[in-house]
Structure 1
Amino acid sequence: MSGVLVFAFLLFELLAIATVSVSFSNGSSYHVGCLESERRALLRFKQDLQDPSNRLASWIGYEDCCAWAGVVCDNVTGHIVELNLRNPFTYCDLSQSKANPRSMLVGKGPIPEGLQNLTSLKHLGLPFNHFSSSVPKWFDRLTHLEHLSLSYNSLEGRIPRSMARLCNLRRLYLGGAKLNQEISEILEIFSGCVSNGLESLALASSSISGHLTDQLGQFKNLDSLDLSNNSIVGPVPESLGQLSS
């Protein structure tokens, strides 16, 4: 009888361990919910927007913000790690990417500062909307950021030097912005810790001028570079051949 009891006890322990293992590995069965401070930050962000197609209809009240449209949270910490609000209705017209204005999120001014409180963000995607003003200087607070896409909004002004602190940045998309900046200055900004990991840089149609220099050789992991439709002149530097592909 004692042997049967021991076997039953061991079987119970194994089942308990398996249950715990499944609950931790499956995001749908273990989820702490979003943090209150980050839920409020998203609601402040929404208040500063016009949303004519009601894309953010799920962003209401005291609901779990991890279930809101475009929001992805870490299953263990509850921190928001991804905010993807790309305009879903985009199309190509005469080789140019455009978006349906009826589905744009329209900023009432600069990109709302409420997002700077989402300090665990790894992915921020706002392309093909209508955010104006310049690239915010406070982006340097998002030190975990790996993917930043602001392409084809209505941004103007230079890339701020504070973005040199985004050491985890892997992909940067700023196509269609009116940067009015020399390419050498942009490469200098990212020549520090950013250059160690940057894999994709897209600055097409961004009012960039000047000459490409050997600064490009510092970006050892860069495998995608789009500088088309700008005013960059001069020979292709030899350092271009030092890139990963």
Structure 2
Amino acid sequence: MGKCLSWKYFSLLLSLLFFHSQFPFSSSFSSNSQCSALLHFNHSLSLNSSASPPLKCFNSYPKTGSWKEDKDCCTWDGVVCDNSTRHVIALDLGCSWLSGSIHSNSTLFVLRHLRTLNLAGNYFNSSLISPEFGKFQSLTHLNLSHSRFYGEIPYEISQLSLLVSLDLSYNWGLLIKTPVWKRVIGNLTQLRELLLDETNMSSITPSSLMNLSSSLTTLSLGGCSLQGTLELNIFRLPSMQILDLGGNRNLEGSLSRSNWNSSSLNFLSLDHTNFSGELPDFIGSLKSLEYLYLSACNFIGAIPTSIGNLTQIINLDLSYNSFNGLLPLSIFDLPNLSGLFLEHNQLVGPLPNHLVGVVAIEIIGAQFLLCLA
């Protein structure tokens, strides 16, 4: 665009400023001004396919590339409006090739009626997460994952008291400090999904996890530099389905029967942590468990025979521990198992006859991986 604004861009900016001055974030904020805000937000960024690479986006395309100034923005790709008020209530620009910075004066923050905002899988050039995000008071879902945000998570995020899902994961360089974390726990009582993988949480005490909402179904804190001893009661959160604490090398803990809520957990990852002790017989009572990752910890003792009761299990990784004794043959009768990893333990005993000398077989069309070396 050079040093001079194009007339089209200049007129768009004037229109936006006019509507902003006439209706400063009021309930009468018009559809035209919302469309102008969206266009201005779009023009502040560029489109680059490398901003949404396949490793983080299975299906990416430039949604905003089809936005037209002469169209009602409620018909635009990624935009959802309320049928009665015509307010923009959802903006889904995940994996949309967006590249650039989001500053605090961005017209994105004009859209105060948003309930869902997804900007995941883009490249925002190490932008700070603006405190202005805290003004989206109607938000229930916020996803800024995999988008190259950087710096401290602002206190204002904790003001979004209606949030059901918050995903800030995989923005390497994000930091959450104790005052913000305490406020998130205390104020975001509606949360069901909290994902902060690869966020620096080194100053957060693991015991504070006990204060999370009892309605939480997903807690994903992989690679967050958590350190210290995890309270046993984390496994008692009644609605928990996905618990990922893997990659926290200095996080200590153990598993025992008193820890577990067996009704809903289907994903558990404690790999590459400092968890230790024996695997309890009670593990076999987790009837919904589909994925269990306990590799590279400090577990000892025998693998309980009750593990053969995990009839829903798909992937089971117990590698790189100090498990010993007989390998329960019931593992090989699990109907849905497609990945089994047991290497670098001290397990003994015969394999079932049909597995002797076999390292990879087909079971119901799925590749079954057996690693015992």
Is TM-score (shorter-chain normalized) higher than 0.5? Answer: yes
Question: 2:111 — aligned with what?
Answer: 118
Q: Does 1:228 align with 2:222?
A: yes
Question: 1:106 — aligned with what?
Answer: 99
Question: 1:128 — aligned with what?
Answer: 121
Structure having the larger proportion of residues in helix: 1
Q: Does 1:70 align with 2:92?
A: no
Is contact 1:124–1:149 with CA below 8 Å preserved after alignment? yes
SS of the residue corresponding to residue 142 of structure 2 reads strand
Structure having the larger proportion of residues in strand: 2
Structure-2 separation of matches of 1:117 and 1:216 = 36
Fraction of identical pairs, as percent: 31
User: 1:106-150, CA deviations, whole angstroms, 9 ceiling, x for partnerless residues?
Assistant: 024547621111111011001110013111101111100000000
Structure-2 separation of matches of 1:75 and 1:83 = 15
CA, structure 1 residues 186+121, in 2 after alignment: closer, same or farther (shift >3 Å)?
A: same
> Which ranges in structure 2 are unaligned for 5 or more consecutive residues?
1-29, 50-61, 241-373
User: 168, 179, 184: which one pairs with 2:174?
Assistant: 179
SS of the residue corresponding to residue 166 of structure 2 reads strand
RMSD over equivalenced CA pairs, Å:
2.0
Letter in 1 for 2:182: E
Question: 1:141 — aligned with what?
Answer: 135
Structure-1 separation of matches of 2:36 and 2:233 = 47
Structure-1 separation of matches of 2:195 and 2:72 = 34
Question: 1:84 — aligned with what?
Answer: 92
Q: Does 1:49 align with 2:45?
A: yes
Structure-1 separation of matches of 2:224 and 2:158 = 23
**Normalising to structure 1: TM-score of the pair?**
0.73
Question: 2:147 — aligned with what?
Answer: 153
Structure-1 separation of matches of 2:191 and 2:154 = 17
User: Aligned-pair distance for 1:230?
Assistant: 2.0
User: 152, 160, 165: which one pairs with 2:159?
Assistant: 165
Letter in 2 for 1:107: G
User: 1:167-213, CA deviations, whole angstroms, 9 ceiling, x for partnerless residues?
Assistant: 1011011111222334x44431213331x201111011123313312
Is contact 1:169–1:197 with CA below 8 Å preserved after alignment? yes
Question: 2:199 — aligned with what?
Answer: 206
CA, structure 1 residues 112+242, in 2 after alignment: closer, same or farther (shift >3 Å)?
A: farther
CA, structure 1 residues 108+241, in 2 after alignment: closer, same or farther (shift >3 Å)?
A: closer
Considering only CA atoms, is the larger Rg found in Structure 1 or Structure 2?
A: 2
Structure-2 separation of matches of 1:190 and 1:64 = 37
CA, structure 1 residues 111+173, in 2 after alignment: closer, same or farther (shift >3 Å)?
A: farther
Letter in 2 for 1:213: S
Is contact 1:187–1:215 with CA below 8 Å preserved after alignment? no
Detail structure 1 runs of 4+ shifted over 4 Å in the superposition: none
Aligned length: 195
User: Aligned-pair distance for 1:51?
Assistant: 1.3
Is contact 2:104–2:132 with CA below 8 Å preserved after alignment? no
**Normalising to structure 2: TM-score of the pair?**
0.49
Q: Tell me which of the two structures has the higher relative contact order, counting C-alpha pairs closer than 8 angstroms and 6 or more residues apart.
A: 1
